[in-house]
Structure 1
């Protein structure tokens, strides 16, 4: 194959304008064997004669098309061998690793990128080049519009995002095919099947749009450029306001001040929500989800949205977006405690990964908030260390009898922590203390079991 000079210069200038390929880069080129990726590889080879950089090819055999995908892999392997190009290849079983909430297309894309990025990390490549074209961008813009992603998604595919570069976004499929000959590339026959949404759009909708207006794709992409430029300006403003309301950012978890969030203009609130969700989800949240979250009222503990990948919840004055982990099902735990010996005792609370330390004192000169002090002579042994049960109540000084549920609400205890909190219950069934240090509050002892001046035998419990 031979890339026409005018097409080569068009792509090279596009790469310069967007700083996609620079001297000293180490670029991993994703090659499926199809026309776009084969063309991309030939462009990379040509431009490497002008700009000094290192490159290699990667290929993932995805196990969807059986023998055909094996032949694709062989094709790429033979092509790289004949050209003397390093090839990193591997197989990924997409059907076996597909999540329940993913289509086969989405799973293949996710697993492919994970495979490529693993190679980049281990082999020291700083960029991944993919063969997305002008046509792919048109399809993506329309798909996102149809899926209701709003202006952020409508901006289309970016020439560079993180360490992924897309040099071919400036060229049409027809231009690429004009440089190729039969036998230069493989055909993915699944691209002709209308079971996939993108294929239905390409094969059925786009021809109708082309009949209505042959320049529809130019107009659409021009509009996307305007949206993108304006979006970048709004993103700068969004960054400023997000920093003002940010309470916590740790890994996949982001916490913002909910009242301050609600004081912002709705356009900024939408952008903040999209940014927080995209931090934990490799896709664009729907308008319906953003619209539901954008005006949530503060107060109380509530899970607002959850799927298998992420969740959004409020905890009083906090709005939290967090990657979903398989929720810990804290089972009811129950530990008997006979009267400790003189040297004290240690109990491992396996369900909450804590150690409970118990000791006796004759008297207490200073009370520490991280310890629970009980008049040992007023309790009925054996004691029980357990988590909450329906209807639990405790009698507290200055408060009277209070439901444990209401106490947790007053203390603003996150829902995920409530089943972990250890309670100390005596042999008569009364709750005599709550080890609140597990959620950052001082421990509390029930009225009837508090240490008094005349107490000569004090049981001290501490959670470690």
Structure 2
């Protein structure tokens, strides 16, 4: 076993990139990196007891070259006794539809198709041929485009199903391995075309840096990235703890931040907290650039009232809170059948109604309750659960007249950005329960009550303190 193969084996074992009896799908273009990767993994597969498959992705950008590459890859895999797949996609069309560059569209589709094949054919891991020089290029690329500490982490050795067993090898080591083992490979002509951003870095910028500062600049950059990585992990842990203490998630998925404790933290930590919250709200790692975070800080300190930050995310300030949310909740109208449960997925809840004996009911005033008891004989069925409508009025418990629900909620300091999550229950005469707040006076229990209707709303998914 050569030194390079042994080094890769050590990295695989140290990072637990591949475990025994796993199936590994290799992204195989026939280029030097993926050829070396496939050959090295084949050398290790029997001893480490894992299985291999290889997939070539035809981007339909270079039709003439593709035929030669597929033939080469097929023959190479046949020689190594490795199953071989070809996946095709019209990347130029995908780029136009997605409004992405060819480079970005190809990268995104590559991950999508590899994950799909892995899922369909039972592969546990997807191996990519990224190496140390790719990590350097990625760090420089992100620096030039604009990035925070996360962007300096480069390419991780593993993430979910994706693994990069060659991450500690240089391009020179890979070329040396191919030459020593007399392994042919295909050269993608587009790699020499410097109009692509990454190619421009590789072909133009990095040679200039290397000429001026020497080959040691790569190690210096990777060392700096490692330091930033450790510090980023520490600060992220602090930010996650802060989020769990100062924010909650509503049943409808809105994130609500208490601005009083939030304002006591250093600005650097506040940026971290906001960045993590934006990523959570959008469901995208890396979502929210520096300008977005600064604008959110403007909402927090009161210089801005409400902003949009892309991906349908709104950030607004209201009553000492900052609310981060996507689209408004559209509560559907649904009938509540007595004795049955009714799902309300829009707010991750279910409503249950049942008849109970008067002696088991609650005769005292019920405020802020998730369970209420009503006089069944004062209700005219059917019961309807719906959203609050403009102009809705009801008679709160203890009042003889009616009040607008909007005014009632304002008096109780209910934030305007969460009111779309507050349902009402109505019978044929009107609202009998403003859910979570108050029942109607006309349906209250008294000494003449013979039948009691109990209505309860329960959360079916966690809502409360945030755990990012």
Q: Could you tell me the TM-score, scaled by structure 2's length?
A: 0.68
- For 1:35-82, what per-residue CA distance to the aligned partner results, in whole angstroms no more than 9, with x for missing partners? 211121122223446x42313134253545263585344543332123
How far apart, CA to CA, are the structure 2 residues paired with 1:254 and 1:383? 31
How far apart, CA to CA, are the structure 1 residues paired with 2:393 and 2:44? 74
Q: Structure 1's 318 and 401: CA in aligned 2 closer, same or farther, altered over 3 A?
A: same
Contact 2:397 2:444 (8 Å CA) reproduced = no
Matched ranges for 1:97-108 at <5 A: 100=98, 103-108=101-106
- For 1:150-206, what per-residue CA distance to the aligned partner results, in whole angstroms no more than 9, with x for missing partners? 122212222333443323233333443455479933344444555643334334443
Matched ranges for 1:131-146 at <5 A: 131-146=129-144
Q: Structure 1's 27 and 245: CA in aligned 2 closer, same or farther, altered over 3 A?
A: farther
Matched ranges for 1:384-403 at <5 A: 387-394=387-394, 396=396, 402-403=403-404
Partner of 2:49: 53
Report deviation, 1:132.
Answer: 0.8
2:241 is equivalent to residue 206 of structure 1: no
Per the alignment, in what secondary structure is the counterpart of residue 423 of structure 2? coil
Q: Structure 1's 159 and 376: CA in aligned 2 closer, same or farther, altered over 3 A?
A: closer
Q: Structure 1's 330 and 387: CA in aligned 2 closer, same or farther, altered over 3 A?
A: closer
Partner of 2:463: none
Q: Structure 1's 171 and 365: CA in aligned 2 closer, same or farther, altered over 3 A?
A: closer
Contact 1:373 1:461 (8 Å CA) reproduced = yes
Partner of 2:229: 228
Matched ranges for 1:12-411 at <5 A: 15=12, 18=15, 20=17, 26-48=23-45, 51-59=47-55, 61=57, 63-65=59-61, 67=63, 71=67, 72-92=69-89, 100=98, 103-121=101-119, 125-180=123-178, 184-193=184-193, 196-215=196-215, 216-238=217-239, 240-242=241-243, 244-245=245-246, 247=248, 259-278=260-279, 280-283=283-286, 285-294=288-297, 296-297=299-300, 305-308=308-311, 329=330, 366=362, 370=371, 373=374, 387-394=387-394, 396=396, 402-409=403-410, 410=412
Per the alignment, in what secondary structure is the counterpart of residue 225 of structure 1? helix
Report deviation, 1:19.
Answer: 5.3
Q: Structure 1's 60 and 317: CA in aligned 2 closer, same or farther, altered over 3 A?
A: farther
How far apart, CA to CA, are the structure 2 residues paired with 1:150 and 1:63? 32
Partner of 1:338: none
Report deviation, 1:119.
Answer: 4.5
Per the alignment, in what secondary structure is the counterpart of residue 56 of structure 1? strand
How far apart, CA to CA, are the structure 1 residues paired with 2:65 and 2:329? 40
Partner of 1:444: 439
Report deviation, 1:404.
Answer: 2.9
How far apart, CA to CA, are the structure 2 residues paired with 1:276 and 1:378? 44
Contact 1:149 1:285 (8 Å CA) reproduced = no
How far apart, CA to CA, are the structure 1 residues paired with 2:390 and 2:362? 35
Q: Which moved more, 1:92-101 or 1:23-32?
A: 92-101
Contact 1:383 1:425 (8 Å CA) reproduced = yes
Q: Structure 1's 96 and 424: CA in aligned 2 closer, same or farther, altered over 3 A?
A: farther
Provide structure 1 residue ranges, at least 5 long, that are not aligned to the other structure. 336-342
Q: Structure 1's 169 and 254: CA in aligned 2 closer, same or farther, altered over 3 A?
A: farther
Contact 2:374 2:445 (8 Å CA) reproduced = no
Taking only aligned residues, the RMSD between alpha carbons, in angstroms, comes to 5.3
- For 1:310-330, what per-residue CA distance to the aligned partner results, in whole angstroms no more than 9, with x for missing partners? 6767786776777x6x76655
Contact 2:54 2:84 (8 Å CA) reproduced = yes
Contact 1:26 1:53 (8 Å CA) reproduced = no
Report deviation, 1:131.
Answer: 0.8
How far apart, CA to CA, are the structure 2 residues paired with 1:407 and 1:73? 70
Report deviation, 1:214.
Answer: 3.5
Q: Could you tell me the TM-score, scaled by structure 1's length?
A: 0.69
Q: Structure 1's 172 and 330: CA in aligned 2 closer, same or farther, altered over 3 A?
A: same
Per the alignment, in what secondary structure is the counterpart of residue 154 of structure 2? coil
